Amino acid sequence: MTKADPKQPGSTIDEKLLALLVCPLTKAPLIYNNDSNELISKTAKLAYPIHNGIPVMIPSEARDLSDEELKAL
């Protein structure tokens, strides 16, 4: 994990943490999007935000992903 500001795009998430986290709705693995600093669930079509380095794994806090965004992943 880097010491970069976790609020800013370009920050990273700890690989061990990413390996443990799954989508709370689908239980599918997540993909870290470095550009938006979000955890992506392709199956649920949701992007979970990361605030202050902490993933917010609440579906109501996630944003819906468009088909274009999903294709770009």
SS3 54: strand
- Element counts in the chain: helices (H) and strands (E): 2, 5
Which residue's structure tokens are 């986290």?
21
pLDDT at 3: 35
71 against 4, higher pLDDT? 71
The domain ranges of the chain are 15-72
pLDDT at 13: 80
CATH class of 15-72: mainly beta
pLDDT of residue 2: 35
pLDDT at 11: 60
| pLDDT tens digit sequence for 18-71 | 999 999 999 999 999 988 999 999 999 999 999 988 899 999 999 999 999 999
